Amino acid sequence: MIILGIDPGLRTTGFGVIEKHGSKLRYIASGTIKTGLEGALPPRLKVILNGVGEIIAAYRPACAAIEKVFVNVNPQSTLLLGQARGAAITALVGADLDVAEYTAVQVKQAVVGTGKAAKAQVQDMVSRLLKLPGLPGTDAADALGVAICHAHSLDTLALIGAQTPGGRSSAPPTLRMKRSRLV
């Protein structure tokens, strides 16, 4: 299964494409979509929309995941980031892809093992997990991290899907709810 990860940004949107075979992950591609530092907002959003569309056409992912917007100190920055994220999501759903959303903390937890990891730690672990010859750029590493997070989550989601409404499972019991938590 090919998974596309997106790290949205108005100036630079990162993307990462990986393949999941069982529990193994394989790097396919990564990079950035650059909109430039200046210019009117609508054309910059169009660059993101078209760029994500080109990536989808080139790699034909089965699903996608995108990082959720965090509330920034500057509300204007948060609003602009949300619009860049919206352009990317529009391209994803326009291509009929299922889109999962993860917070930065969830991505860091899945990739590094702690939600408080620094960007350099994410870069290093992404490089190790995907056996890359070097470190990807920060935006590409974040996008690959989003894709890795989703790849790990797919197994859990499949197990949850095997559960029936009464908490009974058609498969051997591997997951159960305890104090409103999945264990």
Residues identified as active-site? 7, 67, 139
Q: Are 103 and 70 in contact (CB under 8 A)?
A: yes
Per the listing, tokens 């760029």 go with: 51
Per the listing, tokens 């790990």 go with: 152
Per the listing, tokens 């917007």 go with: 69
Q: Can you list the alpha helix ranges (DSSP code H) found in the chain?
A: 41-59, 75-94, 104-111, 119-129, 138-161
Q: What is the 3-state secondary structure (H, E, C) of 60-78?
A: CCCEEEEECCCCCCCHHHH
Q: How far apart (Å, rounded) are the C-alpha atoms in residues 94 and 125? A: 32
Q: How far apart (Å, rounded) are the C-alpha atoms in residues 129 and 150? A: 14
64 CA to centre of own chain? 7
DSSP three-state, residue 150 = helix
